[in-house]
Each structure stands twice: as C-alpha cells, then as structure tokens.
Structure 1
Amino acid sequence: MMRSFLAASDILERICAFFGRVGSWLIIPLILIIVYDVVTRKIIFIQQFVMNSWLYDFLSPTKLQEMEWHLHAVIFLLAYGLAYLNGTHVRVDIWRERQSERRRGWLELIALLVLAIPYCGVLIYQSWFFVEKSFLQGEGSPAMTGLPHRWIIKSFLLIGAALLMASLLSTLMRLAVYLFGSSVLRQEALQRLDMVGHPPEAADEAKPGEVSP
C-alpha cells in the first residue's frame, strides 16, 4: 500500500512537471510580444504600417496588451502545482522552520487536510461555473479591438486549481508514507518532500568551527 502511494504520487508529480514545463516555454512568446509592443511604440512608421494593413486585426495594441496579461496568468497557473511540490513557495513561519523534520511533516499533513485540500476543492468547484458562465455568455474583451472568447483564459484558473490539487494529493500520499511507513520507505518519501526536509544547500554548509572544503 505505501509503495503504491509513492508510485501514485510520482505520477501526479510528472503531470504537474509536464504542465509546468509547458508554462515555462510560454515565457518566450511573452517576451516577443513585449519587445514588439515596446519597439512599435518607439518606431512610429512600423506602427503606422501595421495599423494600415491586415496585420492590425491580429497585432492591435489592445490585443497585444491583453495577450501579455493572459500569458502572465497562464504561466503562473500552470506552474503553481509544481512550485508547491518543489517547496519554492514563500514560507515565513520562523517557528515551523525550527521544528524537526517529522514535526514539520505532521504540521504539513494537518494543514493539507484542514485548509489546503478543502479550499482547493471549493476553488475547483467554483471555477467550473466561472468558466461555464463565461462560455455560455460568449464573453469577450470589453474593448472593441480586444481578445474574444474570454472563457479560454478563465479556464486556466480551473486547470491551475486542478494541478494544485494534484500536487496537494501527491504531497499527502508522501506524507502518509513518511509518517506511517517503514524506515526504508520513510527515507524515500522524505527525499520527495522538499517542503518538509532541509534544503540540500543547508546540508552542504560547514558546521560552526569547521572550514568548508
């Protein structure tokens, strides 16, 4: 049972990692759009050429600005679950960081069961109706030259929440193995729990009075 928990948690992590990589590649079109937008604002004849051609239907300033906002949201939402699994979200609880790894594991488990998973479940439930309403209404940009089909970008809230839920469930299974499994499986689970174990850099630091090699 515990071994199957680890296997299932790894599958969920691979799903989050795949979408996280997809989101990271979207930084490239985001940079290109920003560069194009800045350049055309400074070089007037390029802006005039675009405005007087068929390209304006695709490269209007309003469309470009809205696409920048949309890409920012998509990149963030696709990486949200992976960031949690990698323990890269900001944590400012000084008291928690001073606890033992096992105690941090219990705190993480309680927080997942009481706060994170119920909240994420509500977020997924509400996001579905949020996207459905936008689709049925044919919602688009309030600007005449803005992007249509706003339900597409809103659907990424649902996707991001689902990926976050996957990362939470993956962590929950790893915590169960770490807290209740055999000694061998505990070590395997701890290696996968970046938010519970000490950062790898901390282990490499020299102890007080010692000289690092």
Structure 2
Amino acid sequence: MRFFIGFSDMIDRAMRFIAMFGGWLGVMLVIAVCYDVVTRYFGVPKPAGLNSTMIQESEYWLHSFLIACSIGYAYLKDAHVRVDLFRPNFSGRTKLWIELFGLIAAVIPYSLLGLWLSWPYTVKSFLSGEISKSQNGLSDLWILKGGLVVLFVLIFFAGISKFIKIIAALRGDLPMEEVSGEEL
C-alpha cells in the first residue's frame, strides 16, 4: 500500500504545481481584462497586430485554462462545491464510504467519458486548422479545446489519488484526516 500512497502523493504534488500555474493564469487574466478596459474606454492605442477581439478571446482562453488547471487540486482539497444535507451527521468511515461510492459511480466515469468525448473534438480542431470565427480573432482554436482534455485528465488523476487515499484510510494505513482537508 505504501507504493500506492506514494503514487497518490506524487499526483497531489503535480496537481499543486499545475494549480499554481493556474493561479498565475489568473494574474494574467486580470491584467488582460484591465488592459482591455483601459484601451477600449480611454482610447489608449494598442500595439501593432493586437486588437480588442484578440484581447477578449485571450480573456476567455485564460479563464478556461485557469479552471482546467485548478479543478483537480480543488477536488483533492475538498474546495469544490458540495451539497451536503446529511453528510455532517455521519461518522468518518461512513463519509469515506460515501466518497468512495461517489468516485466509483460519478467522478472517475465522468472524467473518462469527458476525456473520450473531448479528445476527438480537440484532434478534429487541430487537423482542420480551426481558427476563431471572428476575422480578427485568435488562431489555433485547438489549444482552447485542448483545455477540456487537460481538465478531464486532471479530474481523473485527482479521483485516482482520492480513491487510493480512501482505500488506505479504510484499511487503517492512512489517518482519515489525510484524505481531505476537512476533519472526518
């Protein structure tokens, strides 16, 4: 089990690094939005080759990749949206079993289905040389669509990491508190 816990820890470190990269994308997004507002509303000239459409499209590209890079880490740290009506009343072991069921029934299949659907979508965009529908927009739209692939891969690996930790906690190889950020 130590090997699997080590593998889970490696996934967690990779997720943390990717989420930090996503955080820097957030900084870039704020800069892009501020730049767009200032240049559009105050008449500041834009550098050659850069237009409002490109800036606006880069904003939603950055936003998309920020979410894609952060979602796996958010799941690992239980920072995702969760509607728990009954869960607070359950014991730690029961919470682990519920989480395990959710992983097996929803998270892992959902991520695999999303990956299965988004991969050909991205490849088709790449092979066709798809560009923005706007005449002045960004090219290489496959990069944006590739964000879906990244998102589902990260959700899958976050689910695998959580799965390993839950099994280890249920076996007694790992303290229950290490499965998530909350106290079980």
TM-score range, shorter chain: over 0.9
Residue 196 of structure 1 and its aligned partner are, at CA, apart by: 6.2
Any unmatched runs of 5+ in structure 1? 199-213
Structure 1 residue 111 corresponds to structure 2 residue 99? no
Q: Which residue of 1 aligns with 2:70?
A: 79
For residues 5-33 of structure 1, the C-alpha deviation after alignment (integer angstroms, 9 at most, x for no partner) is: 21111011111111111110112221111
Of 35-44 and 75-84, deviating more is 35-44
Cα pair 2:114 2:152 within 8 Å, conserved: yes
- The residue type equivalent to 1:186 in the other structure is L
Write the distance in 2 (CA, Å) between the matches of 1:132 and 1:144.
22
- The residue type equivalent to 2:101 in the other structure is I
Cα pair 1:105 1:196 within 8 Å, conserved: no
Secondary structure of the structure 1 residue equivalent to 2:65? helix
The 5 Å alignment of 1:1-213 reads 2-44=1-43, 46-47=44-45, 50=46, 55-57=47-49, 59-181=50-172, 185-187=173-175, 190-194=176-180, 197-198=183-184
Secondary structure of the structure 2 residue equivalent to 1:186? coil
TM-score under structure 2 normalisation? Answer: 0.95
Q: 1:146 to 1:67 in 2, by over 3 A?
A: same
Cα pair 1:23 1:75 within 8 Å, conserved: yes
Write the distance in 1 (CA, Å) between the matches of 2:14 and 2:103.
20
- The residue type equivalent to 1:8 in the other structure is F
Cα pair 1:13 1:85 within 8 Å, conserved: yes
Q: Which residue of 2 aligns with 1:201?
A: none
Write the distance in 2 (CA, Å) between the matches of 1:196 and 1:162.
25
Residue 195 of structure 1 and its aligned partner are, at CA, apart by: 6.0
The CA RMSD over aligned residues, in Å, is 1.4
Write the distance in 1 (CA, Å) between the matches of 2:105 and 2:83.
20
The percentage of counterpart residues that share the same residue type is: 34
Cα pair 2:107 2:155 within 8 Å, conserved: no
Secondary structure of the structure 2 residue equivalent to 1:94? coil
- The residue type equivalent to 2:149 in the other structure is L
Q: 1:196 to 1:107 in 2, by over 3 A?
A: farther
Cα pair 2:61 2:144 within 8 Å, conserved: yes
Write the distance in 1 (CA, Å) between the matches of 2:177 and 2:92.
12
